[in-house]
Structure 1
C-alpha cells in the first residue's frame, strides 16, 4: 500500500483577514483531503490555520499540527487536532514541517508565511528540497511578490530558471494538477544556485 503524501500548508493565523481568503483556504483543504493528501500545518486554531484544520477534520482528513510550546501556553493551538507535535522553537516547527512534507502549499499570509515560503525556496535553490511549492494567488494576493521575483530576475539577483521553483495557481481546484505536474527540483539544482 502506498504511503500517504503530506502537504505542508503555510498560511495566516490572523482571524481578521477578508472572508474570501477563508473561503479559498477551506476549498484548498477540501481539495487536498479528497485527493488523498495528508496535511501538516502550524497547529493554530485561528485565522486561515484554524480554517484549514476545521475543514480537514470536517472531511475526516489526516492532519498534523506542529506548534512551539510557548504558543500552547497561550492557548493558540487547535484543541481538536489530536496529532499535535510540540517543539521548542519556531525554527524547529518550520524544519519539521518541511521534513515531513512531500510538497508545500502557500496560502495568503503575513510575515510568518513569507518566512516559511522563502526558507523553502532557499532550500530548493540549493537542491535541499525537491518537492513542489505551490502558491495559491487568491484574488491576486501574491501579484506584488511575483513582480518582485521578476525584478530579481531582470536585475540578475537570480536566474530565470529559479522561477521554476514554484507554481502559481489562482484557484484551489488547480492545486492537485499543479502538485502532480510540478517538476521535481533535484540535487543538481546546486549547479544553478550561483549566478
Structure 2
C-alpha cells in the first residue's frame, strides 16, 4: 500500500480529540511508510492529518479546487499540491492516487466523498478498502443506518461488511494493509 486518501473536515469539531486523532493518524501513516492524499488544506482536521504525516517525514499529496484554495487555505508545505478546477476533478485525482480510503469525522463534504468511493467499490469500479476512523464514536450512527438499510433490503449485508471501521488509527492502518478486496455482484 503506497498511499491512502483521507477525507475529513476543514473544521476542528467541538472536541479536541478530533484534531489530536487526525494528527495521530498522520503520524501513523508516516510511520507505516504510507503516503497521504487529501484535500490540500492546512486548516481543521485536514491540516492536522497532513501535519502529522509531514512531521514524521512522510509524503503528502494535496488536491484542492481553485475556488477553495483561499477558503480552505491551501497547505504550503506539502510534497505536492495540485490545484484543479472542480470538485469532480479533485475527487477523481484523489481516487486515482489512492490505494484505499479513510473518512475521519467531518461534515457533508466528507461523507459525500467517502460514500462515492464506497459506492464505486460496491459496483466494482475498484477493490480498494473503504474505512471509517470512528473517533469519539462519530460514525456509530452511520453504522446503525447501514444496519437499517440492510434490514430494509436496500443494501446487501456483504456490502456493509466491506466497511473497515476502527476506533484506533494504528489498528485501522494494520487492517488496511492486510485488506483483501473482493467484488460482490450487486445484481445476482
1:116 lines up with 2:109 in the alignment? no
SS of equivalent residue, structure 2 residue 73: coil
Alignment partner of 1:162 is 2:159: yes
Q: Paired residue for 2:178? A: 181
Q: CA RMSD in A?
A: 1.5
Give the CA deviation at 1:73: 4.4
Question: Distance in 2 between the 1:7 and 1:112 partners?
Answer: 18
For structure 1, the 5+ residue unaligned runs are: none
- Partner SS, residue 26 of structure 1: helix
* Structure 1 segments (4+ residues) deviating >4 Å: none
Residues 24 and 169 in structure 2, CA contact (< 8 A), matched pair in contact too = yes
- Any conservation in 1 of the 2:23–2:49 contact (CA below 8 Å)? yes
Is 1:194 matched with 2:187?
Answer: yes
2:133/2:166 contact within 8 Å kept: yes
Task: Decide which of 15, 23, 40 is 1:43's aligned counterpart.
Answer: 40
SS at match of 1:66: strand
Q: Which moved more, 1:113-122 or 1:158-167?
A: 158-167
Alignment equivalent of 2:128, drawn from 131, 154, 165: 131
Unaligned runs of 5+ in 2: none
- Which residue of the other structure, out of 151, 155, 168, is the alignment partner of 1:171? 168
For 1:16 and 1:132, locate their aligned partners in 2 and report how far apart those are by CA, in whole Å: 26
d(CA) in 2 for partners of 1:23 and 1:73? 24
CA distance in 2, matches of 1:23, 1:75: 19
- Show the counterpart of 1:69: 66
SS of the residue 1:67 aligns to: strand
Q: Normalized against structure 2, the TM-score is what?
A: 0.94
- Residue equivalent to 1:13: 10
Partner of 1:101: 98
| Distance apart, 1:121 and its partner CA | 1.0
Distance in 2 (CA, whole Å) between partners of 1:149 and 1:107 is 17
Q: 1:75 deviation in Å? A: 6.4
Judged with a 3 Å threshold, the aligned counterparts in structure 2 of structure 1 residues 17 and 98 are, in CA distance, closer, same or farther, namely farther
Q: How has the CA–CA distance of structure 1 residues 81 and 17 changed in structure 2, closer, same or farther, with 3 Å as cutoff?
A: farther
